[in-house]
Structure 1
Amino acid sequence: MFKIVVFLILALSLNAKELMDIYRMEGIKAVEQELEKNLRDVNFWKKYLEKRNVEYGYYEYNKYVILAEKENKELSIFENLEDDYKLISKEKMIIGENSGDKLLEGDKKTPEGSYDLLQKKTGLDQFYGPFALVTSYPNSFDQSLNKKGHGIWIHGMPLNGDRESFTQGCLAIDNERLKSLDSNINLKKTVLITSHNELKKATKDDIAIILSSIYKWKDAWKYSNIEEYLSFYSKDFKRADRSDFNTFSNQKRQIFAKNENKTINLFNIDISPYPNSLDKTMYRVLMDEEYVSPSVQFYGKKELFVEVSNNKLQILTED
């Protein structure tokens, strides 16, 4: 904890003297409370992001972004250098035969959104080239919209040399470029963003709103403030099982009524732009969660799909 506090003091260098005075007078707990207050402040995050490029997202864990823009059929790989992005490569790709976002099994469309790469598959039919990288489509948001289909991969070209014109919905690139991509990224630290046309890039204002809102949401959750907690959720909220906001609200009211003491910590927050066919300004938030209460202990991933509208975060789906 002390190392974290020191890091945050350095990040808040303009307030370092004030924080040191608080530490001398009131102790480390008071410093922690002061820092937590800053994390809920959108202006703190705007200053924190001032010299940081967040066009392709904000990442504390992921190191690589693969951007697939379907209209111009280009696939770009970026390395996240913390304050900026380095373009590693850009190549042409082949996508699904039909345009638009994927909705149904067999519609021959390539999905639009933000996805993880789950595994590398080898020993496949020669049609897929040397191997395939499996994506996380359909994710929780896709499922909340009742989107169908599966098996969306990044793969190569047929080994027999017959270059295809389209895929069934996957993204396909030249075999040598696929091998190069694989050797230049860490599969487990990579996010894939697929966009219909040129990506609508993330803004610092949006990222600051999301980060400050996440810490406010976390505190409302921690202290069982049900009305404030639910205010972060869209009335259009749906889970992957398609249960709606009213169902979610009733469940949370029952849980919060216990007013249990809780420890909630969030780490490795990653925020990626989320292209979509709903005409919403959306982001996918993925983070490590530590949750401890008398009745539940959880250590794992928390995923939110959020909309930023009128300078406010609204959660559309949660997993």
Structure 2
Amino acid sequence: MTMLRFCAPLLLVCCVWLIAWPVAGLAADAPVSSGNAPHSDAESQLLAVLNLAQQGDYDSAIDDLSDLIQARPNFRLAQLVYGELMVARTGRSIDPQISANMRDQRDALLDEAKTRWAHRMAASTDGKVPDVILQIAPQYEHVIVVDLSNNRLYLFANEQGVPRLVSDFYTTIGRGGAGKQVEGDMRTPIGIYHITKYLNDNMLPELYGVGALPVNYPNALDRAKGRTGYGIWLHGVPRTTYSRTPRASEGCVVIANDDFETLKANVTIGKTPVIMTAGLNWVSVGAVESQRTSLLAAVEDWRHSWQSIDTQSYLAYYAPSFVSAAGRDKAAFAAYKKQVNAVKTDISVDLSQISLFRYPGEDKMVKVAFTQDYSSNNYHSEDRKAQYWHQNDQGDWQIVLETEDD
């Protein structure tokens, strides 16, 4: 049985045409990164095939790819590469006329191949952490980070507040790219969210594959900035395909069904943070430590001022542009706090379960989330809070938004 029988007619034409774009063009002369987390099995097999092709071993590459296609007949990119390798082995170059629609589909698959290969060739992340994660609260077992610019989803485990890379997956994002602003723009949002629920296969159309994990877009900061839209999910793919091309959703983050099952097993509904960012900066643990120390010192000073009923010092931590959860601006908030504190004789404020996430897409902003245990001579409450701290031009940290942790 020849493997060409698995190829759809469109891919048969495209694969032959693709000799003009040799596999070796994917495989630049660079060492393969060994410090990244494991890829999904199918992706690892495909990348190994491309590595063999780079070395000119087309026979082994075709044999291995045949096994992959037999196991994953719906992996369109693997079908495409198989056709190209068959032509490359013969040394022939065939350039048939194809329709614009065929060419667009072929180009999208090439983008997927380049995206996957670029990740393989990226510098090792071994011993490094993404600078968007400064500290993870003990209540979060895992954190998800989606690098929208590079079509990659990372799953991190929480090891005493420090992220450890567990695995990473190729992902599809919105057709409009990253940075959602308004409903219908087909963009995937940039920001910090959490999983709100799990929708299983039986509840969904086939488009969403084996399941979906909606996130809480728009969050408090999105709403404050006037961003609109809804229905941003992490979800799988139809069973007729293994993966979708890099920009093919209406704003959701889409991964292969196998990868979705792995992700879902490591998600805690209502808790697991999902950080969506345009690009990811990997730094040493020491670099994150210095940033974390500076910010925690500011948070502690804020807490101490409040507990000491030093209202003037306390209010100094709120930026002129501050907005409260109740919609009060800085002046209204200051008047309210002065009135409240005037009748306080004793205040105790304890903070626990503190997370610090550098907010993507915002200049010098960090989301600080914590459990707040407040007691005074006439009131007690325990709540989950979120504050958005911004570092001003003088290097001082100030709060620009305060809300329930959503």
Shorter-normalised TM range: 0.7 to 0.9
Name the SS of the counterpart of 1:127 in structure 2.
helix
Residues 1:229 and 1:205: Cα distance change in structure 2 (over 3 Å): same
Partner Cα distance (1:150, 1:297) in 2: 35
Q: Which amino acid aligns with 1:146?
A: G
1:302 to 373, 382, 385: 385
Paired residue for 1:37? none
Distance in 1, matches of 2:282 and 2:192, equals 13
Match among 310, 319, 322 for residue 225 of structure 1: 310
Partner of 1:145: 225
1:284 aligns with 2:367: yes
The 1:180/1:54 distance shift into structure 2, 3 A limit, reads closer
Structure 2 match to 1:170: 252
SS in 1 for 2:198: strand
Residue of 275, 288, 291 corresponding to 1:193: 275
Aligned equivalents of 1:126 and 1:257: distance in 2?
Answer: 60
What residue is the counterpart of 1:132 in the other structure?
A: 212
Q: 2:346 aligns with which of 239, 261, 267?
A: 261
Residue from 297, 301, 305 that aligns with 1:212: 297
Equivalenced residue count is: 267
214 and 52 in structure 1: CA distance in 2 versus 1, 3 angstrom threshold:
farther
Q: What residue number does 1:36 align with?
A: none
Structure 1 211/300 Cα, relative in aligned 2: closer, same or farther at 3 Å?
Answer: same
Q: Tell me which structure has the larger Cα radius of gyration.
A: 2
Does the 8 A contact of 1:97 with 1:168 survive in 2? yes
1:156-199 alpha-carbon deviations (Å, 9 max, x no partner): 11245495542121111001100011123444552211111224
Query: Structure 2 CA distance, aligned partners of 1:83 and 1:226?
Result: 32
What is the CA-CA distance between 1:216 and the residue it aligns to? 1.2
The alignment partner of 1:119 has SS state of coil
Query: 1:242: Cα distance to partner?
Result: 5.0
- Structure 1 unaligned segments of length 5 or more: list them: 1-50
Displacement of 1:98 after TM fit? 1.1
What is the aligned-residue RMSD (CA, Å)? Answer: 2.5
Q: Structure 1-normalised TM-score?
A: 0.76
Tell me the distance in 1 between the aligned counterparts of 2:128 and 2:379.
Answer: 37
Q: Cα 1:239–1:59, aligned 2, differ >3 Å: closer, same or farther?
A: same
Displacement of 1:63: 2.4
% identical aligned pairs: 26
Counterpart contact for 2:242–2:256, Cα < 8 Å = no
Cα distance 1:195–1:124, how it changes in 2: closer, same or farther (>3 A)?
same
Is this contact kept in 1: 2:217–2:231, CA < 8 A? yes
Q: Distance in 2 between matches of 1:52 and 1:208?
A: 18
Structure with greater proportional helix content: 2
Per-residue CA deviation, residues 252-276 of structure 1 (Å, 9 max, x unaligned), is 2222222342221111111112101
Distance 1:128 1:282 in 2: 34
Aligned residue identity for 2:357: S
Quickly say closer, same or farther: Cα 1:251–1:71, change in 2 above 3 A: same
Q: How does 1:21-36 map to 2 (within 5 A)?
A: none
Q: Among 136, 142, 161, which residue is 1:59 paired with?
A: 136
1:94 CA drift (Å): 0.7
CA shift in 2, pair 1:242/1:146, >3 Å: farther
Q: State which drifts further: 196-205 or 62-71.
A: 196-205
Structure 1 residue 88 corresponds to structure 2 residue 171: no
Equivalent position SS for 2:309 = coil
TM-score, normalised on structure 2? 0.61
Q: Contact 1:209–1:313 at 8 Å: present in 2 too?
A: no
User: In structure 1, the residue corresponding to 2:149 is in which secondary structure?
Assistant: coil
SS in 1 for 2:177: coil
Secondary structure of 1:253's partner? helix
| Distance of aligned partners of 1:239 and 1:75 in 2 relative to their CA distance in 1, 3 Å threshold | same
**Is the contact between residue 206 and residue 308 of structure 1 (CA under 8 Å) also seen in structure 2?**
no
> Cα gap change, 1:270/1:162 in structure 2, threshold over 3 Å: closer, same or farther?
closer
Pair 1:101 & 2:179 matched: yes
Give, in whole Å, the separation in 2 of the partners of 1:268 and 1:250: 30
CA distance in 2 between counterparts of 1:240 and 1:157 reads: 38
CA deviation digits over 1:277-307, x for unaligned, max 9? Answer: x4x1111111111112244321120111112
3-state SS of the aligned residue for 1:304?
A: strand
Q: Is the 8 A contact 1:144 1:241 kept in 2?
A: no
Q: Which amino acid aligns with 1:212?
A: A
Q: 1:301, 1:307 → 2: CA distance?
A: 20
Summarize the Cα distance change of 1:121–1:295 in structure 2 as closer, same or farther, 3 Å threshold.
Answer: farther
